[in-house]
Structure 1
Amino acid sequence: MILTEEQLQDLLDKSLAELPNGTEWAVTLEGSIAEGFGNPSSDIDFLLIGRAEDDLPTMPSLLFLDGRRVEIRTRSVRQLTGQLRAVEEGAERPGRLSEDLLNRCQRLLHSHPLRGHTLVAEVKALLPVERLRRITADWWAHRARQSLRHAMALLCLGESDEAVDWTRAGLVQTVKSWAAGRGETYLEPKWLSLQLDRAGRPDVRDRYWELEAAAPASGNADADAARDHLTACLAFTAELGLTGVPWRPERLTVEGVAGVTTWQTGERVHVVRARRELFALGDHAGAVWRSLVLRRPLLRVLDAAADTGVADPGPLLAVFLRYGLIRLAWKGGGTVTPALPLAAPPGPVTPPPSAAQPLLSVRGAAVTGPRAVDLMPLPADRFAAAAMDLVWSNVVVENAVEDLTGALRRGQWRVAELTARRAVHAALRGLLSAHGVHPLPADSDLVRRLDLLPSGTRPIAAHAGELLRRTADPENGAALLAGVRGFIAQVRGAVGARAFPLSFDSAETWRATLQLGYDWLRLGAHLDAQLPIEEARDLLAGHGTQPHPAR
């Protein structure tokens, strides 16, 4: 150790003087210094063990003594017993064994007793060091398999840079597994060089560093070079005893993910993740998504994606994988779940929300490009509710224009005024819905609440205010109708609804309206979103048809 026993006891005395009196502690030094590593900047890690019945705090206390940072953790015998038993019980499923738990127990079992040696020995005896070696070696081996399988998949998908990084991760994890079997169980990889020096196998150490140095440069890795490096690493890891990772990419399969569902509206493909988040796919991304057949080998899935005519579909599949919309499995080996030590836990990535505006149209969400896999910036149920409100507002617009036309023909001027306002308000509800506003403001507040929207909608607000102040009489009735129609065209142009069916023009346009509404209602009902009107339930029950079909 870099500190003498006398120096450690002196630091311990000064540390205990900073703590409340009245507790008798057994004390052990853990961490890098206890392992024989460390340097002048390494902190001093004291673990204080007591027989208290209550749980002691997990968070350490930090002291600054004699130019060093001292970290003091406290644990009861009962807490330590529970941790050591949990590691033993979790050994059968290394993929689920907590890194933090294993790390805590490893540090204890390799610690250096300073006070209360008998109690420290009593606790350590609960999990023999030899057993810890096997558990730690298996834990690292499991992670190495996942990383190397993931690297293999990324190579198939054309993601060479990422494949190189995961190959390096798998190489480190394999060597850590091998070293753990020889007693070097300390988890942090930063001391790997010293661990390999102590392991007594210069050939393994030197080959590891050769392979590490041979990794293609990150940033623009050549696919062939990335594959050659992975192949060399797989050969070396097999020599070290790692099993389950032959170069067999055909063993990788594409699988579904629980809670991921697909909803198409017009040509737009929407994918809901975990019933909370909604992704909108651009035309190319949507074509690749529609080509997916689950439970097939990754290589066959890639071939099918290429048949769509989309150039370079592999990176799109990698995005689906990264976002947790699909998963990979290894035949006979379960889901591929790569993870790095002392890093963020594995799991799907959530990208920044899409900045597309307006957010949606009657035909689907707006996207930022043909290869986009855009996360909508509001929860999936609110998105679906806003989309249903958008469709329904356009139906109300069509009905209001029809009523306005009839009222003007009959000279019903006050009816015409109220109907024109209804048309304007319905169009504004559609505009706000297209930008994801839900619930909507009251009609009387709609114009003022347009200040929630981008500045490009200011002319619409001005136009709406002018129309809402108009009156209807024989002299300006035609101008009022023209103004309302122009306003509706202006709003629909802004929200991508120019092609909205003339709902009440014919049986054909009414069927088109029902089908459009049904597409969104299916998604809304799946997410338990608020329906715009109660009659929508009947449309849903009738699978997009009206309840009383002609015989």
Structure 2
Amino acid sequence: MILTEDRLQDLLDKSLAELPHGTEWAVTLEGSIAEGFGNPSSDIDFLLVGRSDDDLPTMPSLLFVDGRRVEIRTRSVRQLADQLRAVEEGAERPGRLSEDLLNRCQRVLHSHPLRGHALVEEVKAMLPVERFRRITADWWAHRARQSLRHAMALLCLGASDEAVDWTRAGLVQTVKSWAAGLGETYLEPKWLSMQLDRTGRTDIRDRYWELETAAPRPGDADAAQDHLTACLAFAEDLGLSGVPRRPERLTVERVAGVTTWQTGERVHVIRGRRDVFALGHDAGAVWRSLVLGRPLPRVRATAADTGVADPGRLLAAFLRYGLIRLAWKGGGTVTPALPLAAPPGPVTPPPSTAQPLLSVRGAAVGGPRAIDLMPLPADRFAAAAMALVWSNVVVENAVEDVTGALQRGQWRVAELTARRAVHAALRGLFSAHGVHPLPADSDLVRRTDLLPPVTAPIGAHAGELLRRGVDSAEDGDALLAELRSYIALVRGAVGADSFPLSFDSADTWRATLQLGHDWLRVGAHLGAELPIEEARDLLAGQGAQPHQAL
């Protein structure tokens, strides 16, 4: 160690003097200095072990003693026994063993007793060091397999730069597994050079560093392939099994809770009943080409048949966002992970900034290759979309009623029905921007400050129409013309300018029902509030009206 026994005892005395008195502790030094590593900047990590069964805090106390940073952790014998037992019980499934748990146990088992030696050794005896070596080696081996399989997949998808990074991760994990089998179980990779030196195997050490420094430059796909092949050969020489150079063993599989919903040409993918991803034209074409359960190279080839350029990048994005998963034939899901990093799992990108968010034909997207996350949860997304469609149906009905009232000279009826059309169009405008639940109709004009400034003219126009009266045929004609102009303005702003003239003919009504049905399916799946009770019948009839002759 870089510190003498006397120096450690002195630091311990001064540290204990700053802690509350009254508890008898066994004390052991853990961490990099106890392992024989460390430098003048390394922490002094003291673990205080008590006989009690209490749940002692996990968070350390940080002290500054004689110019050194000292961390004091406390653990009861029961807590340590529980941790060591959990490692032993989890050994059969190394992929599920927590890195934090393994690290805590490793630090205890390789610690240097300073006081209460008998108690410290009693704790260590709960998990023999040879057994712990095997568990740690298996844990690293599992991670190495996952990283190298993931690198193989990324190369298949044309993401060579990402593949190089995961190849390097797999290389580190492979050699850490090998070193752990020789007793070098310290988890942090930063001391790997010293660990390799201590194994005495200069041939392994030198080959590792040769591969580590030979990682190709960005953009060189051929070199990335060669590097992965060399690392796989090295891994095999070190005894790592389960990673032959056979990408066809990788299959594309369904992810639980991921569903697909299409409205018009827009494909929406819902993840975990919460997150909605809207796919641009190219991304949607690649998504629709997927046949789950097929080998990855075949899936990529099928995606290429869509005519979309570089479809592998889109498949890699689907994988990154957790919309699909990869499995290794006979080896389960591929779940790569890095030490001391964020936990593995799907990435959630920043929400889309497109405005408005919704149109009657689907969510707005940023481009043909977009895989955009909607900035509102799935149930609100579906409810807002259904409200958008229904508001347009109400607008169509109201305009028809205004026209009929004006033909009969029913000025007050036309006045009130026009206001209904104005409010319904505003509800569509708010819904298209993801506002749900909606403000009351009487408050809609005042709440346009919730929307982007570009919509201000629509709000002003709505306010003018709501104040208009009708006392003559001339007033009525002018109101109807302005109402149609206002509706066109709103629909143009929310992508509903192609909305069917619902009550014009049987064909336009059928088109309206089909459009509504597309969104109702999403809403019903998510348990979102339906816009009207009749919508349940439309859903049950799969988009057809209930009293239709067969």
TM-score, normalised via structure 1 length: 0.99
Question: Does 2:155 correspond to 1:151?
Answer: no
Distance in 2 separating the partners of 1:319 and 1:487 = 41
Question: Structure 1, unaligned stretches of length 5 or more?
Answer: none
- Please give the per-residue CA displacement for 1:310-336, whole angstroms capped at 9, x wherever unaligned: 111000000000000000000011000
- Per the alignment, residue 388 of structure 1 pairs with 386
- Per the alignment, residue 162 of structure 1 pairs with 162
Does the residue aligned with 2:342 lie in a helix, a strand or coil?
A: coil
Q: For 2:447, which of 449, 454, 460 is the aligned residue? A: 449
Distance in 2 separating the partners of 1:301 and 1:410 = 63
- Per the alignment, residue 544 of structure 1 pairs with 543
Q: For 1:376, which of 359, 374, 377 is the aligned residue? A: 374
- Per the alignment, residue 248 of structure 1 pairs with 246
* CA drift at 1:212: 0.6
Distance in 2 separating the partners of 1:473 and 1:264 = 47
Q: For 2:415, which of 414, 417, 421 is the aligned residue? A: 417
Distance in 2 separating the partners of 1:121 and 1:214 = 44
Q: Which runs of 4+ in 1 moved over 3 A?
A: none
- What percentage of residue pairs aligned between the two structures are identical? 86
Counterparts of 1:346-495 in structure 2, within 5 Å, are 346-474=344-472, 475-495=474-494
- Per the alignment, residue 33 of structure 1 pairs with 33
**What is the identity, as a one-letter code, of the residue corresponding to 2:479?**
L
- Per the alignment, residue 80 of structure 1 pairs with 80
Counterparts of 1:201-350 in structure 2, within 5 Å, are 201-217=201-217, 220-350=218-348
Does the residue aligned with 2:162 lie in a helix, a strand or coil?
A: helix
Distance in 1 separating the partners of 2:147 and 2:489 = 53
* CA drift at 1:499: 0.6
Distance in 2 separating the partners of 1:521 and 1:291 = 25
Distance in 1 separating the partners of 2:503 and 2:160 = 55
* CA drift at 1:476: 1.2
Distance in 2 separating the partners of 1:498 and 1:331 = 49
Does the residue aligned with 1:476 lie in a helix, a strand or coil?
A: helix
* CA drift at 1:377: 0.1
Does the residue aligned with 2:292 lie in a helix, a strand or coil?
A: coil
Distance in 1 separating the partners of 2:164 and 2:471 = 75
- Please give the per-residue CA displacement for 1:250-288, whole angstroms capped at 9, x wherever unaligned: 100000000000000000000000000000000000000
Distance in 2 separating the partners of 1:128 and 1:248 = 38
- Per the alignment, residue 12 of structure 1 pairs with 12
**What is the identity, as a one-letter code, of the residue corresponding to 1:29?**
L
- Per the alignment, residue 54 of structure 2 pairs with 54
- Per the alignment, residue 534 of structure 1 pairs with 533
- Per the alignment, residue 521 of structure 1 pairs with 520
* CA drift at 1:105: 0.3
* CA drift at 1:101: 0.4
Does the residue aligned with 2:27 lie in a helix, a strand or coil?
A: strand
* CA drift at 1:52: 1.3
- Per the alignment, residue 124 of structure 1 pairs with 124
- Per the alignment, residue 496 of structure 1 pairs with 495
- Please give the per-residue CA displacement for 1:422-443, whole angstroms capped at 9, x wherever unaligned: 0000000000000000000000
- Please give the per-residue CA displacement for 1:349-385, whole angstroms capped at 9, x wherever unaligned: 0000000000010000000000000000000000000
**What is the identity, as a one-letter code, of the residue corresponding to 1:313?**
P
Distance in 2 separating the partners of 1:7 and 1:54 = 31
Distance in 1 separating the partners of 2:69 and 2:246 = 49
Does the residue aligned with 1:296 lie in a helix, a strand or coil?
A: coil
- Per the alignment, residue 187 of structure 1 pairs with 187
- Please give the per-residue CA displacement for 1:224-264, whole angstroms capped at 9, x wherever unaligned: 01000000011111111111111000100000000000000
- Please give the per-residue CA displacement for 1:97-132, whole angstroms capped at 9, x wherever unaligned: 110000000000000000000000001000011111
Q: 2:360, 2:388 within 8 Å by CA — same for their partners in 1?
A: yes
Counterparts of 1:66-145 in structure 2, within 5 Å, are 66-145=66-145
Does the residue aligned with 1:64 lie in a helix, a strand or coil?
A: strand
Distance in 1 separating the partners of 2:82 and 2:476 = 82
Q: 2:53, 2:79 within 8 Å by CA — same for their partners in 1?
A: no
Distance in 2 separating the partners of 1:70 and 1:365 = 55
Does the residue aligned with 2:216 lie in a helix, a strand or coil?
A: coil
Does the residue aligned with 2:127 lie in a helix, a strand or coil?
A: coil
* CA drift at 1:18: 1.0
- Please give the per-residue CA displacement for 1:406-453, whole angstroms capped at 9, x wherever unaligned: 000100000011011000000000000000000000001101111111
* CA drift at 1:308: 0.7
Distance in 2 separating the partners of 1:245 and 1:332 = 11
Does the residue aligned with 2:276 lie in a helix, a strand or coil?
A: strand
Distance in 1 separating the partners of 2:401 and 2:419 = 12
**What is the identity, as a one-letter code, of the residue corresponding to 1:36?**
G
Distance in 2 separating the partners of 1:401 and 1:86 = 69
Distance in 1 separating the partners of 2:329 and 2:531 = 47
**What is the identity, as a one-letter code, of the residue corresponding to 1:250?**
E
* CA drift at 1:152: 0.2
Q: 2:357, 2:432 within 8 Å by CA — same for their partners in 1?
A: yes
Distance in 2 separating the partners of 1:53 and 1:223 = 57
Does the residue aligned with 2:291 lie in a helix, a strand or coil?
A: coil
TM-score, normalised via structure 2 length: 0.99
* CA drift at 1:221: 2.6
Does the residue aligned with 1:27 lie in a helix, a strand or coil?
A: strand
**What is the identity, as a one-letter code, of the residue corresponding to 2:505?**
S
**What is the identity, as a one-letter code, of the residue corresponding to 1:179?**
A
Does the residue aligned with 2:252 lie in a helix, a strand or coil?
A: strand
* CA drift at 1:54: 1.5
Does the residue aligned with 1:74 lie in a helix, a strand or coil?
A: strand
Distance in 2 separating the partners of 1:2 and 1:433 = 66
* CA drift at 1:462: 1.0
Does the residue aligned with 2:75 lie in a helix, a strand or coil?
A: strand
Distance in 2 separating the partners of 1:117 and 1:495 = 74
Distance in 2 separating the partners of 1:534 and 1:65 = 71
Distance in 1 separating the partners of 2:92 and 2:488 = 65
